Structure 1
């Protein structure tokens, strides 16, 4: 069957007469990509014409070239783009065919080919901004691709053939050993390994920058000492290469800390290599523990403490009040006297987060008698020298079994008191008990607070309270009694608060069920503002959002005046649209538009 050629003409059409046709298949755009394309057109001109269909009003709807049209909208300060070359379709059927064909024939460049092309241009001395303009992409995109351009050729070949993913290839950028990289590549091609696993294969001996030793020493100090760091551009992490040097610096800084504690009057100070002190650490070394001498508050201070504590529990205490409460708590907690320090020591360690921690008030066997005489310890049959006691006929394994039986008996008994169990759970979740926690439960933080400015975020105060205070060295029995004396309502409130803060959803089916029951609403707690959202996206995005929310065409005066604003002014204007009733009234916002504004959420947040 012979097809007749399509007869069309290319005309110079005023930009103001152009709009995106409903036939145009592309509806989702990256604001940053549109801005990059606009700069490409500004510098290189419009290389490819747009295609459109003239409507009954004499305007032209663009059926292919929607991205170019949006980019041209950003260039209307340049008279070169006041008119645009458009291939005009002779009829509706042709326009529909063009739209479908343009979308179907569009082929994204293979990532490996794109990486190699960027690399060739950079090798010829072409600057990154020029590469970005030539390809109509952002400079950040070019920098990421150029990082990959230095990968061994077999890695890029594997990427092009689909044997590894782009993120897999990115993992190889941390390696400087090509031979080892190729060994790892042979192992993982086509096997679906995760990026994390590939990084571990490439750097089996390296330490991440989040390792407690690296955090404690500090990366700057490590680098000053001559340490090497490999950055992973794609995973926002770094690797410490000289582990032996890091260990030396870690040990030296710990030793310095020990010297500081002995200078404070402690009889001795030692370090342990681990990230926590288990109960066995003190028990195996047959150490006793003395506690700081409690302070006393005056009648006036005690009344003020109760007042501040009540406000703090309700989440209604400001920073000054929290500082005052902490000062009173410090007085109440007391401290070790010089006489106590002269008979006791301290164990120093670094926890999993890289923070320096201590277990203090520890008395050795040699100092027990003096500590008893001074009244810091009570005499006990257990204080007799172990060497004088006869060897126990009970083996360690039998002792362990008997301990398990005793634990079972305790569990059997406490099962009869559900209220006590719930109080204990509330107490553990709301206090930092470390290894002395009554339940064999572990918890982890579930982030619920933005990393930047939290303006416009009105979360329930019970979810944004301070972390449980450190209970190291505190009398837990005394503390728990005080906790229970506040009543069941307080205990249940703490339990509910902590459980809510730990909630993360579960799998998609369970999360959907919980959402159906609780009906969460993001806009109930979050409102987009200039600082928390609008100022963090591109100007073209703001233009589109302004028009969409107010049902404006591109040529509407309210839309064109908004588009001429600086980005900061646009962000402030949208901020006001979401919060200022007077502005809505001035703009004539309808009830439907107001409902749309009040329910609006960014893509991916719904």
Structure 2
């Protein structure tokens, strides 16, 4: 490196200079004054420009170069003022490293400039290990900076503009998959401020996902990788092996299911009989695992000694990745009959009753939803009826109840947006009714001045896929920003409410009514007649209108047993096509049925539907559906902006 002088017209800012932030690069006022008073204390570091022997690039000292040029432009220095320089002839990667080192020691670079400088050096051929050693850092430090420099464009821009902080950027950089980052960003950027945390990003990217970690331990890392799967370590985890991302989730689940199938077949062979495998253990009236029904059979030489009777098995994967096989009596009745076989013989001697008649009596006794809410026995009968008629598990029943409540909530909000007052009137009337008559919430279908039932995690997964629910979430966030909610002074907030326009108050009342709704179903024991009346009063009980807020999804159809999915498809396909569907695997069947019902604009699962009076005007029903879809799309887009 030699020391010489050049004039300003011989110099250009080098592309190897790592400082890109204009605010920092142009902060030269104090530097200009220093050059006038003391001269250039530190020479510029330059290199020959490729293809131009008369020009040199300034790759270290960019701010000094700008300061001298400005002084000459305003006449404070002559045009031929000699600029002290040191000439280098290094490789591209070495020039990036030198510029980075020079800037780090002076006015601090912005973090994204540091990341970008390391990326440029690596792209120019510098080994990551050498860059790290040059700055006295471990190689992992340079790898992290390189990963951050290669963030997906929208995430990197958000970091540069300080829309997100470094901790959130690191969470996105846990994966190299740009598509995964972009998909997560599309959701993350619309989250409320309090939810925009690194943990949210990792959840969206499934970094350190507990379920997938269990499946990976069960399948085995070697087997997963041998099948072509990859596991991406999170470079930013405190412990290198502690957290990562399964990049081929579908492959992992398939391998796990293959292993589970082998275990099931061995269990059936060991038992020497046909065994049903249930998703969950049997539960009691309180919906907790009924441990009294568990069986602990003796095992020897691969043989499993099970008692006679109705027995089911469950197969789960525990935290350690071990398969946990357990045996259960299917019901208390099955256990009782096995303990007292004479009772079973006596029962067998009686004519078998018609199950439909049994449930008809029980259903008639149940009446509306009030009985189910107040009585565990009534709930058991209602659940048993649904299990027989629809094939739903108890958790599945709650999913459908949550979806129906979300549908009615969205319809109340839409009715208010078009000027209707059903939601407001229902809210005010219901509160008065409960205060003055003592009617219970389950009878009139709405809570009394308290939060509605919490939806389960599984139900929330379904709800978040529905346009009506997403709209309600966006509207709730908008209302939170209104002065009558956001103002901490209750008096000021109330006055703001009084001053709000009629449409805003009407819509707010409808949303509150929707949030307080009881869950219901179009099924005996869970039906709330007033919910059907509300939908009819709004003129939105027609399935075509309801479909705009509750759309069929693969997950929703997956709640139904195979026979129910086939029953849905039957009226929509030919006999030949139905025979093809019968032969399909479960996932393939779900996808095929989903395509069928998506092609039927008025299809809604009967459990979610509302009783609607005959509607001879099908065109009007389709118009309602179109209007609601436009309303939801517009409101959600406005909230996102």
Name the TM-score, length of structure 2 as normaliser: 0.32
TM-score by length of 1: 0.34
